[in-house]
Amino acid sequence: MKYMKRNHTLNLSDSINSRKASPRNGSSAPHLSDAELLDAYSNAVVHAVEKAGPAVVSISVKKRRWLNQGGSGSGFVFTPDGFILTNSHVVSGADDLTVQFKDGDSYEAELVGNDPDTDLAVLRIHREEQTHLELGDSSALKVGQLAIAIGNPYGFQHSVTTGVISALGRSLEAKNGRLIHDVIQTDAALNPGNSGGPLVDSNARVVGLNTAIILPAQGIAFSVGVNTAHFVAGQLIKHGKVRRATMGILGQNIDVPERTVRMHELDESGGILVSRVMDNSPAKDAGLLRGDVIVGISGERITSIEVLLKMLAQDIVGNVLSIWVLRDGESKYFTIMPRERK
């Protein structure tokens, strides 16, 4: 859904426009007092929390194999039929899952799917008249925009913290060592138990899932972008897992020589040098060789391994793609059909 620019003003525009402009130093620009600005900020936060709160849950985890060892975290309902998004590390290894709403109602939950690569998981409950949160668009976020976190830190249910979007496009290492891309950095205070809870904008639209903090740093917290969560959740509901693709190569990032960049009219110098082509792999079948430099796939410029991995995380298993490589300084094109990564 398109993210409206007015959200970036913390909903102050209505207050500003509803007041008559008063001359100030010869200017007709409207002026709000500090108290009025604070009221507008507070109203924006209160509105978002009242709208989002009923769909946020606390998650209790039991692991019977470890003598009923428990854990807890947060999550939120994102569909009318009771699907819940949370973090993978919250529910990993769980034998029993219980979710509790703000009104005190508790329900047993089933694990629909789990993706440690992005630290995301989907649960499901069966509850009548289900309130759910709207997913926003993390690609439309702006640094400095209001961010509101709702969760259950240290068991203090439905705690609210606020801050701003501090940075965009971060990469964060998941528990299994893989990088999560397009992560949001915020200074909204997060603590253990916040994991899996929503990061929302001033209209209560989810923009991220609160995931990690850096200890002992203050004011540095991270959320998985909702666009990533939207894709992963769809895969988990459909397949029970995320079907990631592989081409069967090993490679490294390189800078293409400037002369070659100009010759082939590349927009930048980055590419992937193929250091090994696996036997019986899509790359082998396509005709790729050690020493080839991958610079594009199906019209998308490939400038690094990170860009390639993001493409392979999309739903492209079994699709026929065109791959552009530089071999001995010349452009060559091949067709390749990625397989599912095991």
Active-site residues, by number, are 89, 119, 195
Distances (CA, A) of 235 to 40, 43, 241: 39, 37, 6
Q: Residues 6 or more apart from 118 whose CB is under 8 A from it?
A: 88, 174, 180, 224, 228, 229, 232, 242
Structural Rg of the chain based on CA atoms = 24
- CA pair distance 159, 191, nearest whole angstrom: 10
H/E element, 139: none
Q: How far is CA 253 from the centre of its chain?
A: 25
Q: How many residues does the chain have?
A: 342
d(CA 184, CA 117): 16
Beta bridge partners, 274, equal 251
For the chain, the helix, strand and coil percentages under 3-state DSSP, each to the nearest 5: 25, 35, 40
What is the residue whose two structure tokens read 């949370």? 86
Question: In which region does residue 182 sit, left (phi positive, over 0), alpha (psi from -120 to 50) or beta (all else)?
Answer: left
Phi, psi for 30 (deg, rounded to 5) = -70, 155
CB 74 within 8 A of CB 60: no
Q: What is the DSSP letter of 257?
A: P
Cα 294 from chain centre: 27
The H-assigned helical ranges of the chain are 13-17, 34-52, 88-91, 226-239, 258-263, 282-286, 305-312
Q: Within 10 Å of residue 275's Cβ, how many Cβ atoms? A: 12
Q: Which two tokens stand for residue 155?
A: 């068991």
